[in-house]
Amino acid sequence: MKRLPEYLKKGIIDTEKTKTVRQILKNNCLNTVCESARCPNKSECYAKNTATFLIMGTKCTRNCRFCNISCEKPEPLNPLEPEKIADAVKKLGLKYVVITSVTRDDLSDGGASHFANVINKVREFNQDVKIEVLTPDFKGDEKSIDIVIAAKPDVFNHNIETVPSLYKKARPQAVYERSLDFLKYVKQKSNILTKTGLMLGLGEKKEELIQVFKDLVAIDCDIVTIGQYIQPSKHHLEVERFYEPAEYNELTKLAKKIGIKHTVFSPLTRSSYNASSVFSDN
């Protein structure tokens, strides 16, 4: 494993706030992607009383080679999970909530109904909260996508993760065009903000990133996040190279020039990092 540059290292923040967040999550038996995916920003987010909730268990039916979430037989859905998340959101006093999940190809709708149940229950407990969902591709099934659209999240996120040439290497069970069509469909069927994210450092070329930006502008994707891929363990894909902070500024300018409306590009950016900024910046 390559040694991390200093700008990718973050100190541990342990305050009363972070302890409170951990305790509320523990009491409600809730999972977060912050822990499961070993996010480098979790202490900072916990200190701000925020967390990205991971629903439908901690075991994924796909085996993306960059992800730290385990690929095993998943657990049955917990019907109490939507209410537990809504209760945690209320206790944490959140104004912006991110709901994501493992991929559940074993379920007939990919878990879309469970996403909708969580959104509806959170709104029942907290009427003014803004909700972002980060979903799997539901195998491109439009009926499943419609179920989530009908629940009216404020932001609908689905990550394309990397450039098309690296799909076979990084996420062999996914399809770049299917993910693009997914985001396009959400935009065509609703006025919900659409969002996607990519990792850098897997071996992509600049011209490939430029083409991805053009593809995203063509489907009117509103928000794009980009951050450095960090290898979770020696069993995952190796980092091909680390991008310098200045390169993210250059990519931001390039994306804006091509037509991306809202960008969050930095070495430690993750899909839900500073997610509410799209509303505070506008």
Distance, CA of 31 to CA of 84 (rounded, Å): 11
Give the closest residue to 222 by CA, choosing from 153, 146, 167.
153
Domain of 275 in residue numbering reads as: 12-280
Burial class (CB in 10 A: 0-12, 13-18, 19+), 265: buried
Q: What is the rounded average pLDDT for all residues in the chain?
A: 85
CB 159 within 8 A of CB 134: yes
Q: Which residues of the chain have pLDDT under 50?
A: 34-37, 282
Contacts for 192 with CB less than 8 Å, ≥ 6 apart: 149, 152, 153, 154, 155, 156, 186
pLDDT tens for residues 39-56? 555 555 555 556 688 899
**Conformational region of residue 73, where left means phi above 0, alpha means psi within -120 to 50, and beta covers everything else:** beta
Dihedral, 88, 133, 240, 7 alpha carbons, nearest 10: -50
- Whichever domain contains 252, its CATH number is 3.20.20.70
CB 21 within 8 A of CB 13: no
| Residue 3 domain flag | no
Give the closest residue to 30 by CA, choosing from 91, 108, 113.
91
Helices 245-258 + 206-218 axis angle, to 10: 40
Strands (E), 50-178: 52-55, 59-60, 70-71, 96-101, 130-134, 155-157
| Residue 54 domain flag | yes
CB 231 within 8 A of CB 239: yes
- By DSSP bridging, strand 70-71 and strand 31-32 are unpaired
| Residue 45 domain flag | yes
Q: Return the structure tokens found at 200.
A: 């850098």
| Residue 2 domain flag | no
CB 56 within 8 A of CB 114: yes
Over 194-234, what HEC string results? Answer: EEEEEEECCCCCHHHHHHHHHHHHHCCCCEEEEEECCCCCC
Domains contained in the chain, number? 1
Distance, CA of 132 to CA of 136 (rounded, Å): 13
| Residue 209 domain flag | yes
Identify the pLDDT of residue 37.
Answer: 43
Q: What is the Cα Rg of the chain in Å?
A: 18
Identify the pLDDT of residue 85.
Answer: 92
Chain Cα centroid distance, residue 20: 23
